[in-house]
Structure 1
Amino acid sequence: MERQGNSQVNKLAIMVVTMVSNFFNPLMGSAVNVALPKIGKEFGMDAVSMSWVTMAYLLSSAVFLVPFGKASDIWGRRRIFFLGSIFFTLSAFVCALSPTGFSLIGFRLFQGFGGAMMYCTSMAIIVSAFPPQERGKVIGLNVSAVYLGLSTAPVLGGFLTEIFGWRSLFYVNGFVSLIITIIIHFKIKAEWTEAKGETFDYIGSIIFMPSFIALMYGFSKLPDTNAVILAIVGLIGIIVFVLIEMRVPYPILNMKLFFENAVFASSNLSAFINYAATFAISFVLSLYLQYAKHMTPKEAGMVLITQPVLMAFVAIFSGRLSDRVHPRWLASSGMAVSVGGLLMLSFIGADTPIVYIISALAVLGFGFGMFSSPNTNMIMGSVEKKFLGVASATVGTMRTTGMMFSMAIATLSVYLFIGKNPISNDNLGNFIQSSHVIFIIFTILCTIGVFTSFIGKKDTRRLPNKISETQPEKTK
């Protein structure tokens, strides 16, 4: 096939499609939550059924990340991203046309399938297309797009649902995804297949996917007895998967990346810890602000938006800075700042001023924003070019499992203090005590993360130079 140098790659088109997709994927994962009451009312769905409108998308997108990450290394990152955008576009439109709640849940599964194909390849394409001196900046912009998607989801989702109805969410998403698909087809001709010729590990994929679903779903429903059993079964399945992957010639997830690459292993562990220690903050504080401070959901949302907005802006600058300063220092510093914010939240009470809460969220937003881009830069820069798709998928998997673990800690802690009783004035003190335990656990996790993000003797600023020599194929 015809080859072309990196100078001929349409970097602007790559920036547009990756940033827009990284903005809309998390946005659609969160914005639909605002529309759930309207969806439930139209289709006569109970609370459990409504939750599956969101859960179907999250589970589907999470479980396919690793298999598609490896597939993109073998069959082409642009190809997988392009197919993902087609799936995502079509599923968005059929979601908007759903005649029943059951069909909507089914179509959301397909949307998560397409979202996984796009998310697991976006970072790999960026690292393949941009030289080392630009990589941190571009990663920072894409990480910022993720946070902007998360922060604007409640506002945009609420606006569209209120004015045009819940179906408008999927129509808008479909049209934007269609534009992305068109840009990819006409403007991005480069292809990267560094693992071309390797066989795809179907057995590993078949074991991984149901095991991961069982583990995720089990953790999400703790402390229910059946959930504990399901989580244990899922964990056993993951252990079997790891043992098999260590023996097959072309695994979907090469365990040597974790056992022989200290930077890759420690940076992924740090990403997991960071999400585990921060994701449930909005869940806990949302309850705290509404029950202890008697705020409306809208008012609570305006307070909580402090963290993701600050994350988005800081991630841009930390990404740029990681091209000049070793990303290890920035990631560790960001984690240390997050420790300070979590420690502040460990002391909240019923009479804590709102300014104090906002200040703590600002500290957390700054710390998380400083951590994420450099840490992602370290992960993507620590692997050989043939593992870029797998590395990109691993970043997404750490994010998903970290969020799951965070919610499990929060849910279990609240349950231990107030049981299954609804929060009221009678047990508000117990709920606040549970929040103290939650934030102390998160503080300890983040403190551990300060050290894990600094582990690794290999200089990640040198290794990416190998990747920059990647010569993409031109699609016909």
Structure 2
Amino acid sequence: MTASQLQDFYDTHAKARWLALLSVCLAIFVTSVSMSAASIAIPSIARDLDASARAVSWMPTSFLWGNIVLLLPAGRLADLVGRKRMYITGVTLFSLLSLFVFLVQDIASLLTLRVFQGFSVALITATSMSIIGAVFANSNRGAALGLTSSSVYLGLSCGPIIGGWLTQEFGWRAVFWMPTPVMLIALMLIFSFVKGEWKSAQVERLDKLGSLLFAAWVSAFFIGMSDVEDMAHLTSLALGFVLLYVFIKQQGRAESPLIRISALRANRVFSRSILSSFLMYSANFPIVFLMSLYLQYIHELSPFEAGQLVLIQTFIMMVLAPISGRLSDRYEPRYLATLGCLSFALGLALLLRLDMDTSLTYVFVGLIFLGIGFGLFSSPNNNAIIGSASKDKLSIASALVGLSRNMGNLFSTGVVMMLMSIMLGSQSIGPDNLDQLLWVVRVVMVLTLISALCACYYSFTRGRIH
């Protein structure tokens, strides 16, 4: 099918569009569950594999590194050889790799498996939003993107619950193999109902040198941010910035680059939407971790009680994402996304006043504003990104969305770990250092508030897509 014939097919076959969306939502839900559920299984993994605390601490990191390092090359390759083909490859690989957990006998093998799972998820991340953007190009794109966002939030929210139940009832390996049947359903749906293929009409090659440079600077930056107080890690961080500079220069000279830097700069809507995404994810990611510590150590709540309270933010995000996405099909995304940034900033401003005696009702209200803010921001912002990208670059646009999210998460995690190390060092958190913990919470709230306000500026000044 030609591109116009494909579009006519999906415009007249609504069922095929929504079943394609169901496939993508299932795949995204499963990969999100995999990210958060594995963390719950870490104590069982450590006991069963006789692994040290330092070794098992690399469980989330190894997955995240595998995902980030392949995102841009995967997005570019999907635009060249076909988005559907790359999506199917990612889903199939993830399913097969999940079954390899039965062969794991030591922590090194499991960490290697997590890296390769990260690779497979990069293929899914780089293509899922671009497939939805193509299938829903003429109607309901914002609503569809909103449902994909809700799938992420639902997966991350359900992950700890599902992971805990699977680990308790079937053992930690079930956390890895149990998602396979769901992925097979996603695979069946995409094979059965997604017709045709989307790829660039231009015959180009993958920029291999650019891909290596990208992997190198991400790896150096990743290692550096893992311990910013250590000189070797600081050296790695500095090397990461140097490699980033070399990567940008190389992309400007390459015949078929991963990213056309000049085109990215010229597309104001796209570039500022990506920057807004990085800033908002940087602001949002530390909240659950810090609020969990604050509620458990200062308010002496149980982990379950703290989790229930913090979950209100994620629940609101999940409910609002498809609604704000649908609204962004009718109204300018920048207005909705900017309103979201302001609501998120208001929630952070409220939480700036946290102290030893702050009521749980006050905390609850602050988290509600955070949930409303991110729920209003994410789907319209993604709609603006996909809507402002050219049709033959949708996969690289989808990859950049994932990259901005993960790099924002990584950057803010590094900042929080640095502040925790400065104030608490190697001490265990207890009654004697709760003031230091509260100081870390407040400083991070200030930094995240600044980040959210900067995101607000770039969101509002991005321009129009309608």
Q: Give TM-score scaled by structure 2 length.
A: 0.96
Q: Give the counterpart letter for 1:188 in structure 2.
A: V
- Aligned pair partner of 1:403 in 392, 406, 409: 409
TM superposition shift of 1:416: 2.6
2:465 — aligned with what?
A: 460
Output one character per residue of 1:31-84: Cα deviation in whole Å (capped at 9) or x when no partner.
Answer: 100000001100000111112222211110111111000000000000100111
Cα distance in 2 for partners of 1:100, 1:385 equals 45
Are 2:200 and 1:199 aligned? no
Q: Show structure 2 runs of 5+ residues with no match.
A: 11-15
TM superposition shift of 1:159: 1.2
Cα distance in 2 for partners of 1:299, 1:96 equals 34
Are 2:366 and 1:360 aligned? yes
Cα distance in 2 for partners of 1:320, 1:154 equals 29
1:283 — aligned with what?
A: 289
**1:313-324 superposed matches below 5 A:** 313-324=319-330
- Aligned pair partner of 2:302 in 289, 296, 302: 296
Are 2:145 and 1:144 aligned? no
1:215 — aligned with what?
A: 221
Q: Give the counterpart letter for 1:25 in structure 2.
A: T
Cα distance in 1 for partners of 2:326, 2:73 equals 31
Output one character per residue of 1:368-389: Cα deviation in whole Å (capped at 9) or x when no partner.
Answer: 0100000001111111111111
Are 2:318 and 1:312 aligned? yes
Output one character per residue of 1:304-344: Cα deviation in whole Å (capped at 9) or x when no partner.
Answer: 11111110101111001101111010000000000000111
Cα distance in 2 for partners of 1:223, 1:158 equals 34
Output one character per residue of 1:199-245: Cα deviation in whole Å (capped at 9) or x when no partner.
Answer: 11001001111210221232132222222111111121111101100
Are 2:48 and 1:47 aligned? no
Cα distance in 2 for partners of 1:212, 1:381 equals 27
Q: Give the counterpart letter for 1:11 in structure 2.
A: R
Q: Give the counterpart letter for 2:222 in structure 1.
A: M
Cα distance in 2 for partners of 1:345, 1:61 equals 32
Structure showing the higher helix proportion among its residues: 2
1:381 — aligned with what?
A: 387
Are 2:224 and 1:231 aligned? no
Cα distance in 1 for partners of 2:353, 2:103 equals 48
Q: Give the counterpart letter for 1:63 in structure 2.
A: V
**Which contiguous aligned blocks of 4+ residues in structure 1 show a shift greater than 4 angstroms?**
none
**Contact 1:96–1:170 (CA<8 Å) still a contact in 2?**
no
2:9 — aligned with what?
A: 8
Give the secondary-structure state (helix, strand or coil) at the position aligned to 1:222: coil
2:188 — aligned with what?
A: 182
- Aligned pair partner of 2:100 in 73, 91, 94: 94
TM superposition shift of 1:246: 0.8
Cα distance in 2 for partners of 1:409, 1:351 equals 26
TM superposition shift of 1:452: 0.6
Give the secondary-structure state (helix, strand or coil) at the position aligned to 2:354: coil
Give the secondary-structure state (helix, strand or coil) at the position aligned to 2:253: coil
TM superposition shift of 1:132: 3.6
2:13 — aligned with what?
A: none
Are 2:81 and 1:81 aligned? no
Q: Give the counterpart letter for 1:229 in structure 2.
A: T
The CA RMSD measured in Å over matched residues stands at 1.4
2:427 — aligned with what?
A: 421
The alignment of Structure 1 onto Structure 2 pairs a total of residues equal to 460
2:163 — aligned with what?
A: 157
Higher mean displacement: 72-81 or 285-294: 285-294
Q: Give the counterpart letter for 1:111 in structure 2.
A: Q
Output one character per residue of 1:252-306: Cα deviation in whole Å (capped at 9) or x when no partner.
Answer: 1221243111111111110000011110111111111121112222222111111
- Aligned pair partner of 1:331 in 319, 337, 362: 337
TM superposition shift of 1:195: 4.7
- Aligned pair partner of 1:106 in 90, 112, 127: 112
Give the secondary-structure state (helix, strand or coil) at the position aligned to 2:35: helix
Higher mean displacement: 89-98 or 200-209: 89-98
Q: Give the counterpart letter for 1:6 in structure 2.
A: Q
TM superposition shift of 1:157: 1.0
TM superposition shift of 1:196: 4.1
1:62 — aligned with what?
A: 68
2:77 — aligned with what?
A: 71
Identical positions, percent:
35
